[in-house]
Amino acid sequence: MNKQATTGDTASLGTRLRAMLRVAVPLAVLTSVVFGITFFAQYSPRIEEEKESVSPVTAGSGEPPLRFFSSERRWDPPTEEAAYRGLYLLAPSAFAARDAEDRSRFNLQDRIFPGFFEVGSQVHSASFWCENRHNQAALLQLERVSCMSCSGGRFAVLPRELTQKMLQMQAAAILPQFGVNLLPLGQAGPAARLGAYLEQPSSWQAYRFRDEPHATFRMPAANNPDGWSPQWGILELQFLVETYGAREPLRANFITLLEGSNQFSYNTFIIHFEGVNPFEVSPATLSIGELREESPPKQYDLIVYSSTRGFSADATSAQVFVPPSVDIRLPRGLPGTPGPFVSVGPPQPLSAEEMSAFRQRLMAEQKRPIRVTAAYRYPVLIQPSVGGQRIDIGQLVREIWFAAPGALERGVRLSGVVRGQVWLDENASDINLGPFPLLRGVGPHTVYVFTERPDMVLVEVPSERSPRYLQVQLQRLPARGDRGCYELKLRVPSRTEEPEVEAGRLNGIVVLEIQGPRPQRIRIPVRGEARLGR
């Protein structure tokens, strides 16, 4: 008795075919002949793939027991050229190291196959069509699969009367009918019947490969006296996506043989796919360079996109991509609050033209196909002054985190430098203590801080100091011309003096404040490295 291949919800081939028709039929009103050729391209064998699948060991016709029309499945994205915009199923391939003529010849099943799947317990599948041209039944037996525990398979034999009706309706619809080509309408009925047939569990021979490591499927003998009733079948390989990233493709090796003979051949099926988070963010870092406290507000854009979810549930995505929530944080370990100077505005969906440009940029950057089914623009606004508050002078670092139910958080690090009324000697961006022995500590290390006017008063803010064991002294010095000057001394105590001092990198912060009616803080990073020994 056949067993259910895997647990979970599997989108049937019939569902996918109907979804494809919902996309293709409206387009076919204008390009019906092209639609017909494209629709039936998935049933047409490709010469190079046929050659790979043939390996008979006995003399005779040379025909393999089963002729598969394709043996490898990977997502084949359409070109983003303006002439093909909106023609997802008809456009040439975007990625092809071949000439222009080859780009227009692609496998429609590769175009429909999404290639990117969310990690989880949902079962996914890829289908491979085949034909038995012999007057004997054929057997298809699993020999090996690269992931026995995460895969399964099932096989459906298509009734000959159904394939006969599909082929005859195609031929009839191509004929001119009062100046109107009826190919799309002619195929709607047979495709619907095919979908209904494939949705019936009784139409499939199904196995879970970990329970049946040598699962065997049977294909009846051909009986095609009129030339309109080929014996077609569908092998559907099922798999789970359990890890993130592009993993090794799923490989399944089968042997096919004719009943009552010694004729057999080998078939290897390969499925390329990638496990993804429901959304990603581009770019992953945002460098704003230098910013002065009197600078006007600046805006930058972050694009949050999905490879699996769409703006609405349709033929290309089953789930709706709801814009993730946003949270702005200071990096872990830094005291204080992020403040109002970096803010993120409401998300804005990208238009079709913007989506196309964004996809092209992503694929150019990563040099591989990237699927984008929906994307939102999040405007990031940086304001040096908000109300009566002024942004801290010195290093500006924020983390912008995006979150959505059932997804991993994704963060973007924003970094820059704010220049203003206070600066370190030689315009240094931090204080580097260098390497020092853990058992002796370091310092006092002296640096000089300058102010724009000699009457400006600076104080250190001990509550913002990090780490707490860092010893800080700030002393006012005589003015240097029209500039104020302060001496800042830092010391790290030895491990003997302060048990909290540990070996490793020191990433600290010293905060100074300009006193007055509108106080402003200066954040100075402190670097160093405590090493074992004296």
* C-alpha to C-alpha distances, 442 to 431, 509, 512, 528, nearest whole angstrom: 13, 16, 21, 10
Residues 286-317: tens digit of each pLDDT: 999 988 878 899 999 999 999 999 998 765 66
- Does 268 share its domain with 336? no
Lowest mean pLDDT of 176-190, 218-232, 314-328, 368-382, name the range: 176-190
- Does 101 share its domain with 41? yes
3-state SS, residue 414: strand
Closest CA to 465 of 424, 523, 379, 533: 523
Examine residue 1 and state whether it is found in any structural domain, yes or no. Answer: no
Identify the bridge partners of residue 488 per DSSP, sorted by sequence position.
447, 474
Cβ atoms 467, 508 nearer than 8 A? yes
In this predicted structure, what is the pLDDT of residue 395?
Answer: 86
Does residue 9 carry a pLDDT above 50? Answer: no
Task: Provide the residue type at 497 as one letter.
Answer: E
Task: Provide the residue type at 66 as one letter.
Answer: L
Closest CA to 522 of 432, 390, 398, 399: 390
Q: Average pLDDT in the 169-188 region? A: 48
Which domain range does residue 497 map to?
422-531
Does residue 408 carry a pLDDT above 60? Answer: yes
Of all residues in the chain, the percent with pLDDT exceeding 90 is 57
Lowest mean pLDDT of 22-36, 125-139, 198-212, 282-296, name the range: 22-36
Lowest mean pLDDT of 14-28, 61-75, 270-284, name the range: 14-28
3-state SS, residue 23: helix
Closest CA to 417 of 449, 395, 384: 395
CATH number at residue 471: 2.60.40.10
Examine residue 427 and state whether it is found in any structural domain, yes or no. Answer: yes
Cβ atoms 235, 270 nearer than 8 A? no
Identify the bridge partners of residue 296 per DSSP, sorted by sequence position.
none
Using CA atoms, how far apart are residues 440 and 159, in angstroms rounded to an integer?
A: 85
- The upper half-sphere exposure of residue 65, i.e. CA atoms within 13 Å in the direction of its Cβ, equals 27
- Does 255 share its domain with 192? yes
239 — pLDDT class (breaks 50, 70, 90):
very high
101 — pLDDT class (breaks 50, 70, 90):
low
Does residue 181 carry a pLDDT above 70? Answer: no
Q: Which two tokens stand for residue 237?
A: 């390989």
- Does 387 share its domain with 448? no
Q: Which two tokens stand for residue 149?
A: 């525990």
- Does 255 share its domain with 300? no
Q: Average pLDDT in the 230-249 region? A: 93
534 — pLDDT class (breaks 50, 70, 90):
low
Tell me how many domains the chain contains. 3
Examine residue 7 and state whether it is found in any structural domain, yes or no. Answer: no
In this predicted structure, what is the pLDDT of residue 50?
Answer: 40
**Number of continuous H segments (helices) and E segments (strands) in the chain:** 8, 34
Q: Average pLDDT in the 147-161 region? A: 90
- Does 189 share its domain with 84? yes
What does the mean pLDDT of the chain come to? 83
In this predicted structure, what is the pLDDT of residue 172?
Answer: 53
Does residue 26 carry a pLDDT above 50? Answer: no
- Does 58 share its domain with 132? yes
Does residue 266 carry a pLDDT above 50? Answer: yes
Given the structure tokens 């010893």, which residue do they identify? 471
Does residue 221 carry a pLDDT above 50? Answer: yes
Cβ atoms 64, 55 nearer than 8 A? yes
Strands 309-310 and 319-320: parallel
Residues 43-72: tens digit of each pLDDT: 344 434 443 433 333 335 678 999 999 999
Choose the final residue of a domain: 240, 255, 276. 276
| Residue 314: DSSP 8-state | S
Q: Average pLDDT in the 233-255 region? A: 94
- Does 31 share its domain with 89? yes
Residues 309-351: tens digit of each pLDDT: 999 876 566 789 999 999 999 988 777 789 899 999 999 999 9
- Does 443 share its domain with 409? no
In this predicted structure, what is the pLDDT of residue 193?
Answer: 84
- Give residue 516's region: left, alpha or beta (phi > 0; psi -120 to 50): left
Which residues 6+ apart lie within 8 Å of 21 measured at CB? 187, 188, 191
- Does 346 share its domain with 471? no
Q: Which two tokens stand for residue 361?
A: 């940029």
Examine residue 453 and state whether it is found in any structural domain, yes or no. Answer: yes
Examine residue 409 and state whether it is found in any structural domain, yes or no. Answer: yes
Lowest mean pLDDT of 181-195, 242-256, 384-398, 516-530, name the range: 181-195
In this predicted structure, what is the pLDDT of residue 321?
Answer: 95
Omega of the bond leading into 283 within 30 degrees of 0 (cis): yes
Angle at Cα 64 formed by Cα 63 and Cα 69, nearest 5°? 100
Question: How many other C-beta atoms can be found within 10 angstroms of the C-beta atom of residue 498?
Answer: 15
Give, for 107, the enclosing helix (H) or strand (E): none
Using CA atoms, how far apart are residues 31 and 340, in angstroms rounded to an integer?
A: 54
Does residue 461 carry a pLDDT above 90? Answer: yes
223 — pLDDT class (breaks 50, 70, 90):
confident
388 — pLDDT class (breaks 50, 70, 90):
confident
Using CA atoms, how far apart are residues 90 and 80, in angstroms rounded to an integer?
A: 12
Q: Average pLDDT in the 391-400 region? A: 91
Choose the final residue of a domain: 419, 442, 469. 419
Cα pseudo-dihedral 417, 418, 424, 427, rounded to 10 = 60
| Residue 134: DSSP 8-state | S
Does residue 97 carry a pLDDT above 90? Answer: no
Choose the final residue of a domain: 246, 276, 306. 276
In this predicted structure, what is the pLDDT of residue 17?
Answer: 43
Using CA atoms, how far apart are residues 112 and 122, in angstroms rounded to an integer?
A: 18
In this predicted structure, what is the pLDDT of residue 6?
Answer: 43
> 358 vs 56, which has greater pLDDT?
358
Does residue 441 carry a pLDDT above 70? Answer: yes
- Does 359 share its domain with 408? yes
E strands, 468-516, in order: 471-480, 483-492, 504-514
